[in-house]
Structure 1
């Protein structure tokens, strides 16, 4: 009986963690699957040496699963999933604010993980963990509220109802908008990944700072159009579905660009 209770508690903790902190199972897997489709041959071979035969989507949610770990071994990783920045006037101001913040943050950790993966002195085990986290965090980067504001914990403190159910703004963007489309992650990846080579190249252009600013600007628009106690329904889906799908696609293509550059 105790064993059954422990398993149920673990599942609840995992579900709560996913619900509060990430794109959710589907969103992260969509991004990873799109990235997989844009890896060059050399990158695929190198990743297979590190990760084995599993596709990127298999590992995409692991950094959220471990938030339910009770040993405290991964406690320091919670801050790696986001960066808090107040609205900035332009890219220059954003970049200055971004670089002035004390780490670790989503920004600093993506750079740190990338360096660990490139460093041949990194152990095989640590390289795999770094790659798994990088897959996930590049997904977090494209979820606009992971580049949100400290005062409301990236929308977690903004109460809304979604089709009559009480929730918060962050949770709506983590999973509810994605899951409302009722696609599997492979279906959604296939439907979204239809850009031309020139369009893909344009989406993948820029720096890590540019990509974070892109999400930050979208976060500001979400905040402006979703005040506290908003009642969200079909009109909200209509207003933001294209933005949500854009972010899934951009997240996948930019993850692929980063991985191809690393390997």
Structure 2
């Protein structure tokens, strides 16, 4: 077992839900591409040492792809992609609920991975793996239903139709609404990444808890306006596409902030 799993394997065995993939291939690459546009010179130099000339988008979906591995080596990491928090309306109660969660989750692992990347004693291999996960998990943290509710597994149990095709609420937000726009990931990053330097700095303010609460509030809004066994189409897109795009942009800008800090 790799070093980055050693402190979490026993706890992970207590509970493991399969949340499927997150943001889909396009969404994660959009976030990674936006982040790459906002890296500092120092961060770029450090990244070159870790992943050579490869772009962040290349690794953005790797932590989802390894869910297909049949050896079981990566199985413990499945719970790293999300955290279940009961509906909260203020940051204090949310933070208390977040910190009370048992076992590794997206909150704990973003911190662990960040520390591992900063630690000069981390091996080159473990540092690269930690980076791959961090790119992905910051993206996941911006997908509202990854900060969702236990009873429906972040919307996975809420069955509905989208333009007549059966799906569930989680998948709708992971990929279907992103893919509906028919942009490549570079096109989507380009049309979203238009904020001023002052606006970017404002979006990057706050702690990890603040960012997760931001996504949690978005999840509460989604839950309040999404019902099971309904066919959604253009009306749902009209209502929520701005939120989808906000989360993609915020995920990218905040990923850049984290990478600039840890590198």
Specify if TM > 0.5: yes
Asked if the contact 2:89/2:217 (under 8 Å) is kept, the reply is no
Shift in Å, 1:19: 9.4
Say which structure is richer in helix. 1
Aligned mates of 1:258, 1:103 — CA distance in 2: 23
Q: Which digits, 9 at most, give the CA deviation of each residue in 1:157-195, with x for residues without a partner?
A: 000100000110000000000000000000000000000
Does the Cα contact within 8 Å between 2:66 and 2:74 map onto a contact in 1? yes
2:144–2:215 CA contact under 8 A, matched in 1 = yes
Q: Distance in 2 between matches of 1:43 and 1:25?
A: 24
Does the Cα contact within 8 Å between 1:27 and 1:175 map onto a contact in 2? Answer: yes
Q: Which residue of 2 aligns with 1:93?
A: 93
Q: Hey, what's the Cα distance between the residues in 1 that align with 2:46 and 2:245?
A: 29
Stretch of structure 1 that moved more, 84-93 or 168-177: 84-93
Query: Is the contact between residue 106 and residue 141 of structure 1 (CA under 8 Å) also seen in structure 2?
Result: yes
1:1-263 counterparts in 2 under 5 A?
20-263=20-263
Q: Is the 8 A contact 1:19 1:175 kept in 2?
A: no
Q: Secondary structure at the match of 2:231?
A: strand
Q: Alpha-carbon deviations, 1:200-256, whole Å to 9, x = none? A: 000000000000000000000000100111211000000000000000000000000
2:33–2:57 contact (8 Å) kept in structure 1: yes
Q: Structure 1, residues 119-139: CA drift from partner, whole Å, max 9, x if none?
A: 111100000000000000000
Verify the 8 A CA contact 1:27 1:248 in the aligned structure 2.
Answer: yes
Per-residue displacement from partner, 1:97-142 (whole Å, max 9, x unpaired)? 1011122000000000001001111100000000000000000000
Residue-pair matches, total: 246
Query: Cα deviation per residue 1:52-105 (whole Å; 9 max; x = unaligned)?
Result: 111000000000000000000001000000000110131100000101112200
Which secondary structure state, in structure 2, belongs to the residue aligned with residue 21 of structure 1? coil
- Give the whole-Å Cα distance in 1 for the aligned partners of 2:188 and 2:223: 26
Q: Quick check: 2:19–2:156 contact (8 Å CA) kept in 1?
A: no
Deviation, 1:49, is 0.3
Could you list the runs of 5+ residues in structure 1 that have no partner in the other structure? Answer: 1-17
CA distance in 2, matches of 1:43, 1:51: 12
- Quote the Cα distance in structure 1 between the aligned partners of 2:19 and 2:78: 14
Any runs of at least 4 consecutive aligned residues in structure 1 with deviations exceeding 6 A, and if so which? none
Give the match's secondary structure for 2:38. Answer: coil
RMSD, aligned CA? 1.1
TM-score by length of 2: 0.92
